[in-house]
């Protein structure tokens, strides 16, 4: 590339979307800067141990071994051509500058284009007792196994809904952990109804069927239409109390719970960048607005992967490539129209499958809205659902940010990441409003806690 022509492209995230976007930009002669909170590229889905070396791909990633290896290798190939910043937090976006920090050193990166490939996190619903040690997110339970070869306990219950519930339970049983039970809040009927839509990806449908068959063969109880009631224990997870579809109560003796109800996009940076959000009725959540290639309404800001819309790792690879093509086109580079059309067509399939998953494993809104008054909704600061309801009814908080200011739910260190979805349901139910009418929690910089002693490097022009 000619001097003076160099455009600065920054990518936040080095999961499947970030890696494929970086690779596509390098192919066009650009040298993007890649900001990654992880120790090494791969994201959470293809996460590696801290040293970055995977000895046995099959043991670590199972059916996804070849995809994990492909992503790791793709990133290794472009390593010399990009500016890779591992273990670095992107914590603010202002005036076409991305603020990053590593080991207490902050820096502002000027960019012409910024791709947010920030991935997803568990969409959680508080279950009374979830603040006891030994209760982990579904994603966290998988990371323990995948990156570290550890089970979160000796007797684990898997609770929630969504494809990850079955995948992680299956991975645990295959690795030799004791899976006490798999409790799915989704009714059986909804899963059968979704089968035609799930045929958009027959390979994934078959995989799900295989997980179920293997769990059944291991005589691991799988219950659909289940309702988790509470996690009990003196100072640790000891029991799980739940109700089956016919209303009968059961008690399991356990020492760990994996809890998760699908994933949701990590969108706080997009929010700080000024990206518009719209309410998605199928997913019952706010999603960032972008076009079919990942362009947002804010000039120079692009989104891809699960951080834009949770469609899974394969879709994230396509989305990352698409966003890179959009960036290249907007920077005045020639882009092959057929490549873009092909990638966009593949996204349609992923979208169809995602809609079918929402039918198969519906978000249990009533469970979230009905969290018991004495249950902690905010694990950061031990604030109960009752306290939030008091604010909603007595103080009349009309929307989520006001309720947050009054109750402190969402003001703790996780910044609403784990209490937010249920807080919105509780507030909406309290006030007899629809979920979209109570708004959404706004992102705040820094999007994650920074070290108190932060040294600033001069912003480069």
Partner 1 sequence: MAQVPVTGRFHRLRPTTGKRIEIDIDGETVTASSEDTVLVAVLSARRIVRRSEFGGGGRAGMCLMGACQDCWMWTADGRRLRACTTRIAPGMSLRTDPPGDHLWPGRS
Given the rule CB under 8 A, which residues bind partner 1? 37, 39, 44, 47, 49-51, 53, 55, 59, 87, 121-122, 131-137, 139-140, 143-145, 148-154, 175-177, 235-236, 255-256, 266, 379-382, 412-414, 417-418, 448-449, 451-452
With H, G, I as helix, E, B as strand and everything else as coil, classify residue 336: coil
Nearest distance in Å: CB 140, partner 1: 4
* Environment class of 413 (CB within 10 Å of its CB; exposed 0-12, middle 13-18, buried 19+): exposed
Nearest distance in Å: CB 11, partner 1: 18
Give the DSSP letter of residue 295: B
Of 150 and 213, which has the nearer Cβ to partner 1? Answer: 150
* Residues 191, 214: Cα–Cα separation, whole Å: 18
* Residues 130, 157: Cα–Cα separation, whole Å: 13
Q: At what angle do helices 202-217 and 163-175 cross, to 10 degrees?
A: 50
Nearest distance in Å: CB 152, partner 1: 6
Of 127 and 205, which has the nearer Cβ to partner 1? Answer: 127
* Residues 37, 13: Cα–Cα separation, whole Å: 7
Nearest distance in Å: CB 134, partner 1: 6
Q: Helix/strand/coil (H, E, C) string of 166-190?
A: HHHHHHHHHHCCEEEEEEECCCHHH
Nearest distance in Å: CB 281, partner 1: 26
Of 381 and 390, which has the nearer Cβ to partner 1? Answer: 381
* Residues 154, 179: Cα–Cα separation, whole Å: 9
Q: Residue 54 in contact with residue 26, Cβ under 8 Å?
A: no
Of 331 and 372, which has the nearer Cβ to partner 1? Answer: 372
Dihedral of alpha carbons 279, 293, 199, 57, sign:
negative
Of 153 and 208, which has the nearer Cβ to partner 1? Answer: 153
Nearest distance in Å: CB 450, partner 1: 11
- Look at residues 21, 50, 47 and name the one whose alpha carbon lies nearest to residue 34: 21
Say whether the peptide bond before residue 446 is cis (omega within 30 degrees of 0): yes
Dihedral of alpha carbons 414, 417, 422, 427, sign:
positive
Q: Residue 275 in contact with residue 301, Cβ under 8 Å?
A: yes
Give the DSSP letter of residue 123: -
CA distances from 97 to 107, 301, 327 (A): 9, 11, 17
Instruction: Extract the tokens encoding 388.
Output: 């939030």
Q: In sequence order, which ranges of 335-412 are alpha helices (DSSP H)? A: 337-360, 365-369, 385-393, 400-407
Q: Residue 42 in contact with residue 15, Cβ under 8 Å?
A: yes
Of 134 and 208, which has the nearer Cβ to partner 1? Answer: 134
Nearest distance in Å: CB 291, partner 1: 28
Determine the length of the chain.
461
Of 402 and 408, which has the nearer Cβ to partner 1? Answer: 408
Of 132 and 428, which has the nearer Cβ to partner 1? Answer: 132
- Look at residues 7, 14, 15 and name the one whose alpha carbon lies nearest to residue 32: 7
Of 178 and 190, which has the nearer Cβ to partner 1? Answer: 178
Dihedral of alpha carbons 323, 329, 333, 335, sign:
positive
Of 144 and 205, which has the nearer Cβ to partner 1? Answer: 144
Of 220 and 324, which has the nearer Cβ to partner 1? Answer: 220
């Amino acid at each position: 590339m000619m001097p003076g022509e160099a455009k600065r492209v920054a990518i936040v995230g080095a999961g499947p979307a970030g890696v494929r976007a970086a690779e596509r930009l390098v192919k066009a002669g650009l040298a993007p800067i890649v900001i990654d909170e992880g120790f090494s590229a791969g994201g959470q889905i293809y996460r590696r141990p801290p040293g970055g070396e995977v000895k046995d791909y099959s043991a670590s990633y199972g059916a996804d071994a070849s995809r994990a290896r492909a992503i790791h290798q793709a990133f290794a190939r472009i390593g010399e051509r990009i500016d890779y910043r591992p273990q670095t937090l992107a914590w603010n976006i202002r005036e076409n500058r991305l603020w990053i920090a590593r080991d207490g050193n902050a820096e502002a990166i000027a960019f012409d284009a910024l791709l947010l490939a920030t991935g997803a996190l568990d969409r959680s619903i508080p279950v009374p007792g979830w603040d006891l040690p030994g209760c982990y997110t579904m994603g966290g339970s998988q990371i323990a196994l995948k990156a570290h070869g550890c089970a979160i306990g000796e007797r684990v219950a898997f609770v929630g809904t969504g494809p990850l519930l079955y995948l992680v339970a299956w991975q645990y049983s295959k690795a030799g952990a004791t899976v006490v039970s798999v409790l799915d809040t989704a009714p059986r009927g909804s899963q059968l109804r979704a089968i035609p839509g799930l045929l958009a990806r027959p390979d994934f449908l078959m995989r799900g069927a295989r997980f179920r068959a293997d769990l059944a063969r291991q005589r691991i109880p799988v219950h659909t239409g289940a309702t988790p009631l509470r996690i009990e224990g003196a100072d640790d997870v000891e029991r799980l109390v739940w109700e089956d579809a016919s209303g009968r109560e059961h008690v399991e003796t356990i020492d760990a719970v994996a809890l998760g109800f699908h994933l949701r996009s990590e969108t706080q940076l997009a929010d700080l960048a000024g990206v518009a959000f719209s309410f998605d009725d199928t997913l019952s959540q706010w999603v960032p607005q972008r076009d079919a290639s990942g362009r947002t309404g804010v000039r120079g800001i692009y989104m891809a992967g699960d951080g834009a819309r949770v469609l899974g790792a394969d879709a994230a690879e396509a989305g990352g490539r698409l966003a890179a093509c959009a960036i290249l086109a907007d920077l005045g580079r020639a882009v092959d129209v057929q490549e873009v059309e092909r990638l966009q067509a593949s996204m349609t399939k992923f979208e169809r499958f995602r809609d079918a998953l929402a039918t198969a494993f519906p978000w249990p809104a009533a469970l979230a809205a009905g969290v018991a008054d004495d249950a902690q909704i905010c694990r950061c600061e031990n604030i109960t659902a009752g306290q939030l309801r008091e604010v909603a009814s007595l103080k009349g908080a009309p929307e989520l940010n006001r309720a947050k200011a009054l109750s402190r739910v969402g003001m703790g260190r996780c910044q609403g990441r784990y209490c937010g979805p249920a807080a919105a349901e509780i507030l909406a139910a309290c006030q007899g409003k629809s979920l979209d009418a109570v708004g959404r929690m706004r992102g705040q910089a820094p999007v994650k806690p920074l070290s108190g002693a932060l040294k600033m490097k001069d912003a480069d022009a």
